[in-house]
A and B are shown apart, each in its own frame.
Chain A
Amino acid sequence: MLAKRIIPCLDVKDGMTVKGTNFVNLRTAGDPVELGKAYSDNGADELCFLDITASFEGRKTFTEMVSRVAAQINIPFTVGGGVQEIRDVERLLNAGADKVSINSAAIYNPALIDEIAQHFGSQVIVCAIDARNDQDGWHCYTKGGRQRQELGLYDWAHEVQERGAGEILFTSMDHDGVKEGFANEALAHLADHLSIPIIASGGAGNMEHFRDAFTIGKADAALAASVFHFGEIRIPDLKAYLHKENIVTRL
């Protein structure tokens, strides 16, 4: 059976990992390569590294980090943050990344997804969608959650699938950093209406939340940061718990 995946996410700024609460108040939490290796040794199924530095220098540091990760880690990893054009994708894949996540740039230029799919295949594209359940329904947000778009979550998710995205990484801004569980209803809606894998993100606080994302939310993978970085949940314990709850995991 195909296993549900657990993906620790490392936000990287100037070569160090950080994690914010509701996209602000960043706290520092260590060297990304060392942390990534530790997660891999502990049973993480994939890793995700997001570059949250915007500067040219920061991007260069990040690309060097991607090469170090590729050299040392033997599980798949996704990188993203600030990917604007196909050359960014090429640079990150050439540094050894398996997949690249694109977010705002895809909303501003949807044809970018088609272009990446044609050049490198759908399997390299993780389309990250940040969305919030506003009074008039789920809306996409860009620029790290600062800019509301008229685009609805479900319409956009369907469009990125049709354009050739390989996976969708859906972050609920309402749930992110709050640690009260994932946005399971929206996740289930995505899973029911799409044929590509959905990665749940935003809201992990305890092990039951992961179980619910897989059972109620029907997610294929779940991504989290702070609960792993600060040792609140150990991945081997989480895997053992999910196994006990009859969820297929790679033990």
Chain B
Amino acid sequence: MNVAIVKYNAGNIYSVMHALKRLGITPTLTDDAELLSKADRVLFPGQGEASTAMSYLREHNLDKVICSLRQPVLGICIGQQLMCRHSEEGDTDCLGIFPLDVKRFQPVLHTDKVPQMGWNEIYDLKSPLFNGIKEKEFIYNVHSFYVPYDKEYTIATCEYILPYSAALHKDNFFATQFHPEKSGDVGERILKNFLEL
């Protein structure tokens, strides 16, 4: 299977590459429109700041390329946020694949730390992406911004300060706020499910 990872300026893609290798896949890291559109699966991972990432995607015409993809695409962490309409981070207009807006966590109690860092549970799982995954399994998170729960697009919910979208789905586009590549065997199964969609 030919799996491409979108190459852009929101780094740490090493763990995603390693996770795919553990599943027997050697991914191609590329920003080439043709390679991306011809791949069987496309991953759009990353960590970074939304406005910087979006400027880079626009400069390299990757915004249009990503939106035009027709095979299953999986956004991870900031990848999910960039696939939304707008992000509060840097007041950034994003790709608009999901008609949802990204917000910053607002602590309610002193114990509400931002970013959320660590393992939390996902529930209300509603997608083949979660085949074989039980309700309330733990997944690994590192993020300060989140996509609010949406009854149409949310396919997994997580609760931190408030319930939010741990994963989204629309047509061929899937996205997780958490890091499946760092979520132990549960995350590995989710990546495997994505490859088998």
B92-132 near A? 1/0 per residue, CB < 8 Å: 00000000000000010011011111111100000000000
How near does chain A come to B144, taking the closest CB pair, in angstroms? 9
A75 within 8 A of B: yes
Report chain B residues within 8 Å CB of A40.
184
How near does chain B come to A72, taking the closest CB pair, in angstroms? 8
Report chain A residues within 8 Å CB of B115.
122-123, 166
Contact A123 B185 (CB under 8 A): no
Which secondary structure characterizes the binding site on chain B? mixed
CB-CB contacts below 8 Å: B27-52 with A: 47-49
How near does chain B come to A127, taking the closest CB pair, in angstroms? 14
What separation, in Å, do the CA atoms of A40 and B117 have in the docked complex?
18
Highest count of chain B CB atoms <10 Å: which of A2, A70, A72, A76: A2
Contact A74 B19 (CB under 8 A): yes
Report chain B residues within 8 Å CB of A2.
116, 118-120, 160
Q: Which of the segments B9-17, B65-73, B146-154 contacts the partner chain?
A: B9-17
What separation, in Å, do the CA atoms of A56 and B179 have in the docked complex?
33
Given A70-B18, A93-B12, A76–B182 Cβ distance below 8 Å? yes
Given A98-B182, A121-B48, A71–B140 Cβ distance below 8 Å? no
Given A70-B15, A70-B18, A94-B14, A1–B120 Cβ distance below 8 Å? yes
A-B contact count (CB 8 A): 79
CB-CB contacts below 8 Å: A1-19 with B: 1-3, 5
Report chain B residues within 8 Å CB of A51.
none
CB-CB contacts below 8 Å: A210-251 with B: 218, 220-221, 250
Report chain B residues within 8 Å CB of A28.
none
How many residues on chain A are close to B (CB under 8 Å)? 32
Highest count of chain B CB atoms <10 Å: which of A71, A74, A250: A74
A192 within 8 A of B: yes
Report chain A residues within 8 Å CB of B111.
218
What separation, in Å, do the CA atoms of A124 and B140 have in the docked complex?
14
Contact A74 B114 (CB under 8 A): no
Q: Nearest B residue to A75 by beta-carbon distance?
A: B184
What separation, in Å, do the CA atoms of A235 and B18 have in the docked complex?
25
How near does chain B come to A223, taking the closest CB pair, in angstroms? 13
What separation, in Å, do the CA atoms of A122 and B181 have in the docked complex?
20
Contact A71 B118 (CB under 8 A): no
How near does chain B come to A196, taking the closest CB pair, in angstroms? 6
A176 within 8 A of B: no
Contact A96 B18 (CB under 8 A): yes
Report chain A residues within 8 Å CB of B184.
40, 74-75
B142 within 8 A of A: yes
What separation, in Å, do the CA atoms of A45 and B22 have in the docked complex?
19
How near does chain A come to B185, taking the closest CB pair, in angstroms? 7
Contact B22 A74 (CB under 8 A): yes
CB-CB contacts below 8 Å: A103-159 with B: 120-124
How near does chain A come to B69, taking the closest CB pair, in angstroms? 26
Contact B14 A1 (CB under 8 A): no
Report chain A residues within 8 Å CB of B159.
1
B183 within 8 A of A: yes
Contact B107 A121 (CB under 8 A): no
Q: List the interface of chain A (C-beta within 8 A of B).
A: 1-3, 5, 40, 45, 70-72, 74-76, 93-96, 98, 120-124, 166-167, 192, 195-197, 218, 220-221, 250
Q: A3-B138, A70-B14, A197-B113 are in contact. List 20 more A-B contacts (CB 8 A).
A: A1-B121, A1-B159, A2-B119, A3-B118, A5-B118, A70-B15, A70-B18, A71-B18, A74-B181, A74-B185, A74-B187, A93-B11, A95-B14, A123-B47, A123-B142, A166-B115, A167-B117, A218-B111, A220-B117, A250-B119
Q: List the interface of chain B (C-beta within 8 A of A).
A: 11-12, 14-15, 18-19, 21-22, 47-49, 107, 110-111, 113-121, 138, 140, 142, 159-160, 179, 181-185, 187-188
- Can you show 11 pairs from A to B with CB atoms below 8 A apart? A1-B120, A72-B22, A74-B184, A74-B188, A93-B11, A93-B14, A96-B14, A96-B18, A123-B115, A167-B117, A195-B114
